[in-house]
Amino acid sequence: MRTKENSLIRYKDGNLYCELADIWIDPNKPVKRALITHAHFDHFAFGCEEYLSTIETAILLKERVGNNINIKTFDYGEEFKINGTNISFYPAGHILGSSQIRFIFAEEKWLISGDFKLQEDRTCKKYEIVKTDYLISECTFGLPIFKWDETKKIAFDISKWITNSPEKTSLLFCYSLGKAQRLLNEISQTNFKGNIYSHGSIYKMNNCYRALGIDIKDTIKIENKKKIDEFKGSLILLPPSLSKGPYLKNLKNFQTAFASGWMSLRALRKRSGYDKGFAISDHADWDGILEVIKKSEAKNVLFHHGDSEALSKYLTEMKSINVLLFEK
Ligand SMILES: [Zn+2]
Ligand SMILES: [Zn+2]
């Protein structure tokens, strides 16, 4: 079944768009008005006239792109009206400030999940169950093979990985915003008591989180990459973009790992070029996606951001839920 051309939320030029409110959601191009679910760059485009987001997302975005953006902020749960459409943000549990966005027009409810997860994460608000008629869910990890281990176990594995190689420097690659802070928070609960260093891009986000009241372990900012070899027994957090290229060229005696949901796939782990992979994700796994769909009580579900074939098949067989496809 396809969405109607006049449905409250639809696809336009490859983006989610609400015609009634003339507002775009996480657009990948400059538009007049953009709702931003969270501060990851794949959900943000420069050059929009006006942005609307939660307070935390606005602070993180400004830290990343500068103060020169026109951004209006709202509390979670605060309803505002544009051209008769009620809009509000709810916690998505993905990273600090991340949100689902709900639209209500003439008693019809639409919910855009944004990137979300249900797993425990002390660095952001927990995913809030929101009831809706139509749910647009992300499905980055929408296959039954994706089933996350407890975060505590992953943190313990990371700690063991570092302490088992006291002669080496342990380089853990992870996204600068969200994943790095969650890892720091988790690692501080483990037995690893050595030094932790952060790349500048991560260090900046750590400070931002701390200023927003999140418990993040103090790390040392890496100023001079040439000294990196002196850090044996320590943990260094680096963004994935530095895993290839000249950054590691001068290093000796180190081990590398990547922290990502994709590392749960053996084939990807092998091909990744890292010594080790830790399967920890800020997205929902298969069960998480299904749980949200069920608890939202949505009768109609649409997917974006990922491969939805398996989910669509599964839900269609359950028959009580319509899986709709966007009219593109
Ligand atoms: Zn994200
Ligand atoms: Zn994303």
Q: Would you say residue 50 has pLDDT above 90?
A: yes
Listed by start position, the domains of the chain span 10-145+283-323, 151-278
pLDDT grade, residue 6 (50/70/90)? Answer: confident
Cα 140 to ligand 1 centre (Å): 10
Q: What is the pLDDT of residue 250?
A: 72
CA of 196 to the centre of ligand 1 (A): 24
Measured in Å, residue 40 CA sits from the centre of ligand 2 at: 7
Q: How far is the CA of 119 from the centre of ligand 1 (A)?
A: 15
CA distance 15 to 204: 30
pLDDT above 70 (res 82)? yes
What is residue 225's predicted lDDT score, i.e. its pLDDT? 58
Q: What pTM did the predictor assign?
A: 0.96
Q: Among 83-87, 242-246, 254-258, 320-324, where is mean pLDDT lowest?
A: 242-246
* 10-145+283-323 to CATH, choices 1.10.150.120, 3.60.15.10, 2.10.240.10, 3.10.129.10: 3.60.15.10
Ligand having the closest approach to the CA of 43 = 2
Pairing of strands 254-259, 235-238: unpaired
Look up residue 148 and give its DSSP letter: P
Instruction: Compute the distance between CA of residue 97 and CA of residue 74 in angstroms, rounded to an integer.
Output: 11
The alpha carbon of 253 and the centre of ligand 2 are apart by a number of angstroms equal to 34
Fold held by 151-278 = Rossmann fold (3.40.50)
Q: What is the pLDDT of residue 244?
A: 82
Average pLDDT over residues 34-58: 98
Ligand with an atom nearest the CA of residue 177: 1
Q: Which two tokens stand for residue 272?
A: 């990744």
Tens of pLDDT, residues 102-115: 999 999 999 999 99
pLDDT of residue 326: 87
Neighbours of ion ligand 1 (CB under 5 A): 40, 115
Q: Find, among 21, 66, 77, 68, the residue nearest to 49 by Cα.
A: 68
How is residue 8 annotated by DSSP?
A: S
Alpha-carbon gap, residue 138 to 304, rounded angstroms: 5
- Mean pLDDT of the residues in the chain: 94
Ligand 1 center to residue 62 CA distance, Å? 16
* pLDDT above 90 as % of the chain: 88
C-alpha 98 – ligand 1 centre gap (Å): 8
- CA–centroid distance, residue 205 to ligand 1 (Å): 15
pLDDT, one tens digit per residue, over 240-288 is 999 987 777 777 899 999 999 999 999 999 999 999 999 999 999 999 9
